[in-house]
Structure 1
Amino acid sequence: MGVPSVSTAVAEVLKENRPKVIEGVRWREEDGGAVFRVRLRPISEGEGEPHGLLGMVLDETERAKLEARVQRTEKLASVGKIASTLAHEIRNPLNAMKGAIAFLQTKFSNDVLLLEFTEIINEEITRLSAFVTTFLARARKAEPRFVSLDVNEEIRRALDFVGKQARPDGVSVTADLGLLPAVVADPGQLLQLFTNIARNAVEAMPVGGSLTVRTSIASAAEAWPGLPARRAGDGQASREAVRVEFHDTGPGIAEEIRGHLFEPFNTSKEKGTGLGLFISREIAEGHGGRLAVTSAPDHGTTVTVYLPVDGSHVPADIHHPAR
């Protein structure tokens, strides 16, 4: 059963003349939004009909986010334990298979058909090995190495990395990188975050299109819309954020899929793992940031990453031209 609307609850309180509490009322849900708990109490004289009501709204955004994060962490921890147990048993036969394939390709180097099919097997072995590696990386939960860095440089590295991989013909990549202050982040995790998003965008355009990556500064209100204005002098609400937008001109994401984008193992790709966006959001939130996705069929997809600016506000080195 969904959360009743506040207007419906108000009508019920006045009709039934009894208090009501509504949990999980959301505002601006498309932005990640805020979560509230609403208490309504009728105001009446004696046993008569209520002539008004008293309402109290409690902001429970942070608690809701914490609960969701704990649930995701517990789910990932369970998966990680399984991955750690099976990794050794899986990798040994995979390595043996790769060795056997290398031998066959050398021994029968003139057999075109054999080379074609062994290469397909080799690619699938590589994909499975990478899948296991991804599991282990999240299971081990290595402590991040935070340093002050240039987001633009990490984006260049990610785009270079994606560019060296197989890319559909007709896909162009443009970087519009603005002047940014530094952020404090783990370089390896940030590279993984940007690479995941860029690769997803490129793979979403098998018949061609364009990926545009833009960086700029965002206000705290945009980056963390769930934080009330009254806390503007404390924590994230008082800080600017670096905004990184990845916009592709692909087919967009169907409505029935958008609600499950961040669920692990949820993928529509034939060879996808369903962990890319799940891990990307974990990385963004682990850096005090946020990841948002907007998309519509035939209108492409925009993935936006918000990262808190380093408190020193020292401009990062951006002397390299955008590619």
Structure 2
Amino acid sequence: MQALRQFDLNLLIIFEALISECHVSRAAEKVFLSQSAMSHALNRLREYCDDPLLVRTANGLQATPRALEMLPEVRRALQLIDRTLAKPEAFDAARSNRVFTIACTDYFEAVIFPGLFARLQQTAPGVRINVEMITDASSREKLENRSVDLVVGVDASHRIPKHLVTEDWLSEHLVCLAGQQNSRISNQLSLQEYLDINHVVFFDQVGDTANPVDSWLQSQQLSRHHSVRTTNYMAAARIVAQTGAIATLPYQMARLFCDLLPVRIVTPPANMPVIDMQILHHPLFDNDPGLIWLRETIKQYDGYLTSA
């Protein structure tokens, strides 16, 4: 490496042209230099290599044995540098066998992922997806050490590390879920009725930001009664199906549970906040063609959309 610090790497391109052509003028044209600049470069190469490199003979300039020995190695070095500096190849999803790991909420896993994966089976059959539960570690060290490629579904109200890249993903309005046999709850709740009911409260494991519903209530100096706190929407829905409690959750998730469990959707109090969800990735991998493809595929997928 010490020798390289004193060497102009541009001279490697000039060396390759000179020894390939064995002609100063043609070599100059090949690398877009004047003949005088090429002659000057040849003198620098001769001095550095301590070898004439090109020698005039009866048949014109001829490369020395030293120059011929160097030529294939110089060509390999130039090819390696060229490949190293070249832009990454476009990601070919149809041919790729890449494995991606996504850390996500169970909203993404239950509502979005099944239909998204079905589409990927058609457009990117060799691509494999690993899904794990979203945690604080997912959005910190795991993104940086690349054991997680993307974090999907983070509530935009959470405190996200400033160095991470956040992208808006989708917004969902919130509804309430009640058991079908829960006759004490009508199909629409006033704010006071909402406060008087026992709640199964969902919270995720990212950051320390309060649940958006609780933040909304606190802004009005109000609070609801947390009977149960859970990190899993399915657990919350099953509790609701068997008790008099309600859960507040995104509409598409509530709709899914209505197909699976004896529960029903109840209209929440007016002005209930909307939940905005984001996709996170690490800036170290901002230009990774595969991750760009995956992010865009997730953002463009609309198979989850069902009118309320």
- The answer to whether the superposition gives a TM-score over 0.5 is no
Bigger Cα Rg: 2
TM-score (norm: length of structure 2): 0.21
Between 1 and 2, higher relative CO (CA 8 Å, sep ≥ 6) is seen in 2
TM-score (norm: length of structure 1): 0.20
